């Protein structure tokens, strides 16, 4: 959540807290700018029971969609297993994971705009929520290992084989 603004209510003498969205401004997670809320698309959220605004502005979403389309055109065919965790399409189907839409999602580096691989949606979400970079992943690994680098090195050596 972006910084909230405090405003003195001259009628009651109380201080009101106003979020940027209430002021008609929203922060774009992609271009890192505060923009008018009209610059953001919206979707219906069943869990909230109301419309929600996208995290990225329409312009950034348009650019992202064009990049994904371009990368899909030049990417190798989808493999039978996730390039990250190794789960197969059949395992996803057996698990009944409807979010997979029958296959894997294109993963790309947001900085270099280069294709990285085809991964399952759980890996895609996990990597994204950890910042979509090695630093976030390493912080999580340190946390899980209780700051024991030796445990991480052991696991990395096993995975390398």
Does a structural domain hold residue 41? yes
> pLDDT in tens for each of the 161 residues of the chain?
455 555 555 566 666 555 555 568 889 988 999 999 889 887 767 777 777 788 899 999 999 999 999 999 999 999 989 999 999 988 887 876 655 555 789 999 988 999 999 999 889 999 999 999 999 999 999 999 999 999 999 999 998 87
Q: Is residue 45 part of a domain?
A: yes
Q: Decide if 156 is inside a domain.
A: no
Q: Kindly state whether residue 6 falls inside one of the protein's structural domains.
A: yes
Burial 57-94 (b: 16+ CB within 10 A, else e): beebbeeeeeeeeebeeebeebeebbebeebebeebee
* Domain-located, residue 3: yes
Domain region containing 23: 1-74
38 domain residue, yes or no: yes
Inside any domain, residue 25: yes
* Distance of alpha carbon 161 from alpha carbon 157, whole angstroms: 7
Task: State the pTM of this model.
Answer: 0.71
Structurally, how many domains does the chain consist of?
1
For the chain, how many residues are written?
161
Asked whether residue 16 is assigned to any structural domain, the reply reads yes
């Amino acid at each position: 959540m972006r910084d909230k603004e405090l405003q003195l209510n001259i009628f009651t003498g109380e201080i009101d807290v106003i979020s940027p969205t209430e002021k008609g401004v929203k922060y774009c997670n992609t271009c890192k700018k505060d923009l008018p809320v009209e610059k953001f698309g919206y979707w219906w959220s069943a869990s909230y029971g109301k419309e929600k605004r996208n995290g990225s502005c329409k312009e950034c979403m348009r650019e992202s969609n064009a990049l994904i389309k371009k990368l899909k055109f030049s990417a190798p065919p989808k493999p039978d297993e996730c390039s990250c965790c190794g789960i197969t399409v059949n395992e996803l189907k057996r698990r009944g994971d409807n979010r997979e839409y029958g296959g894997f999602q294109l993963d790309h580096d947001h900085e270099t705009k280069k294709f990285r691989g085809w991964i399952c949606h759980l890996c895609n979400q996990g990597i994204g929520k950890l910042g979509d970079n090695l630093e976030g992943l390493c912080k999580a690994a340190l946390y899980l290992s209780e700051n024991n680098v030796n445990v991480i090195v052991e696991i990395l050596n096993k995975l390398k084989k």
